[in-house]
Chains A and B, each alone.
Chain A
Amino acid sequence: MKYLHLVWRGLLRRKLRTLFTALSIFIAFLLFGALMALRVAFGMGVDLAGQDRLVMIQKVSFIQPLPLSYMNRIAATPGVSGVTHSSWFGGIYQDPKNFFAQFAVDPESWLAMYPEYVLPDAQKQAWFADRTGAVVGRALADRFGWKVGDRVPLRGTIWRTADDAPWTFTIDGIYEAGTKGTDTTQFFFHYAYFNETRTFGKDLTGWYVVRVADPRQSEDVAARLDALFANSSSETKTSTEKAFVQAFAKQIGDIGSILMAILAAVLFTILLVAANTMAQAVRERTNELAIMKTLGFGDGQLLGLVLMESVMLAVIGGGAGLLVAWLITQQGDPTGGLLPAFFLPTRDLVLGVGLIVALGIAAGLLPAWQAGRLRIVDALRRQG
């Protein structure tokens, strides 16, 4: 570490060039961070899916409902430790552009199924007791400035009230994210109120969520449940939440993998730029390096010095880029509700740091090796 000062002076030798190189590395890692967050977002939060939860939908199409009467039969199936259900509402708040997801659920079993929706106990109890009550996620509440006690009208697009008046809900609670990436842009309200008010489709629900007692048995339980309703008028398809989310994410298609290819291209380009700059910096200093050798610096030491300079440049530029990317993704979803799981996982941050160091070493290796092999006499004789 006693050469740190020397390395630093090396970087300051051509301030402008160092600055621009650092800036391009900065951009590369800013992009890296943004793309990793996008990857999570396009994956629809597959990593967040519960290990012990199954999703049961109608076999032919997820827009087809399932009978509410399935609830008890599911609960009685061996291996099942909990069940709840949910229905898509699809209402409009003020303007169709204000899209957010709304679901009619059975409050108690729903919150028991999803411990990641964290709600103060008082708000929970208030919601359970209030038939026209709703709970909303923190991000959604912030978006529209809603507070507990506010009344929110939603115009139904699919589900209408008898006189076609708007549905009105009282906000009884605001839930926070229990784990990183939990979707806090949703709106939940009582199925009972929904079911008695809507004009058709009574006693049907959108899908079931089932908790299995032992996650290792989830495949078996899923098969057992589907067998239970086989050859009925509403056959079912049950899969783990993870598989369900994955299948949904796959529907977005190749766009995610194209983004990944772009990322690779970007990093490669930046690597070229950085490597070239480092090589130039060393070539320019041939004389200096020769003098240092004359003064008694060993080959290994010179190699180390040049490598350190390169890594330092990468760490300064890349570190700042990664930091800024992290700060930006802390703000959450930039699209206002379309990509709810938008964050930079710790795993990718670690990967980023690894890439920075790798970039520094790769960019510095060739010039460092050249510097280490310099023959003093040749180097001193050479001009520029």
Chain B
Amino acid sequence: MTPSSHLDAAFSALADPTRRAILARLALGEASVMELAEPFSMSQPAVSKHLKVLEQAGLISRGRDAQRRPCRIEGRAFAEMEEWLENYRRFWEGQFRQLDALLDELKAAKKKARAATPGAKGKRK
């Protein structure tokens, strides 16, 4: 898998709320399918299906212990994805702060215009 298709698979894997919840649980420590199925009140096969998607996306790995096959969160894939989204967020947050400043200015101008023309609500200069 190329890094980008890897990342794409990761995003798809995370598009499902149950899978996000499973990852949140695994962030606290490894768990077996049985241990995961319980809090989600899902059948083990249903949980296994979700785990397969997460595993294919490189977000989790399964232990070798044939009995439990504990699931672990894969830090690297997760961090990569978080980083990408965080960079994206940071850029747009910067743009939107500029917009905040502009909106403050527009609001003030509107207020002023209203104050200057009593009775004429919301008239623009």
Binding between chains A and B: no
- Which of B's residues lie within 8 Å of A, judged by CB? none
